[in-house]
């Protein structure tokens, strides 16, 4: 993670968003210590807004195993969810299927149904999408969940925080819309192929030289 951050900083990135809950747990503290003058936006499951949104006091969480087992997640529960019941569901394999771009495949549907089952049986009325991959599943989730189920993710809050930090550091661009550049540690052609399915803005995809 440190090598990736250093590379992005060399490219002139004015800020860094660690768009992964698990990566935040693993690397955020170290990166903030290493780059005290660089705005860094971290990610965490939206426990606080979910606890406020639930009507029956039952909140479900879909997340990676690493996130659910982290001390940071436990601290969030202690701080914001003492008055509600939180039902956690680790989702191994879900990220890998989302990254294929086949967001309505039978395999993805079966896996997601299996993960949602215990949360629905528990009566959860609010669901935290505790991984930055999972918002791509919103259209599919709409077909599997009760219409009054509240879905919570941190995308909008993270965007607001990034804007606030850039403004605070007088780094907001005044040149209109920027350009999109993708870097990947995987296969550039594979990522290029799935960008349209994920609703991402098109742009060049390059291999990370780290």
Residue 91 among the catalytic residues: no
Task: Give 89's DSSP letter.
Answer: E
Selecting among 124, 131, 200, 206, the annotated active-site residue is 131
- Neighbour-count burial of 37, counting CB atoms closer than 10 A to its CB (0-12 exposed, 13-18 middle, 19+ buried): exposed
C-alpha distances out from residue 99 to 93, 94, 104, 105, Å: 10, 9, 12, 12
How large is the greatest C-alpha to C-alpha distance in the chain, in angstroms?
A: 51
The answer to whether 200 is a known catalytic residue is no
Q: Which of 20, 28, 91, 124 is catalytic?
A: 20
SS3 112: helix
- Please give the positions annotated as active site: 20, 131
């Amino acid at each position: 993670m440190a090598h990736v951050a250093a590379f992005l900083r060399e490219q002139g990135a004015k800020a860094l968003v660690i768009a992964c809950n698990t990566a935040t747990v693993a690397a955020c503290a170290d990166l903030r210590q290493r780059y005290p003058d660089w705005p860094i936006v971290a990610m965490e499951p939206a426990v606080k807004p979910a606890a406020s949104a639930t009507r029956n006091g039952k909140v479900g969480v879909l997340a990676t195993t690493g996130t659910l087992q982290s001390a940071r997640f436990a601290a969030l529960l202690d701080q914001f969810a003492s008055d509600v019941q939180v039902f956690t569901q680790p989702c191994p394999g879900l990220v890998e299927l989302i990254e294929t771009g086949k967001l309505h495949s039978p395999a993805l549907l079966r896996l997601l149904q299996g993960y949602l089952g215990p949360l629905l049986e528990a009566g959860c009325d609010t669901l935290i999408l505790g991984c930055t991959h999972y918002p791509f599943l919103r259209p599919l989730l709409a077909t599997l969940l009760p219409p009054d189920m509240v879905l919570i993710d941190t995308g909008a809050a993270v965007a607001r925080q990034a804007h606030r930090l850039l403004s605070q550091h007088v780094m907001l661009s005044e040149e209109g819309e920027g350009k999109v550049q993708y870097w990947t540690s995987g296969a550039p052609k594979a990522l290029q192929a799935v960008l349209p399915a994920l609703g991402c803005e098109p742009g060049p995809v390059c291999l990370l030289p780290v």
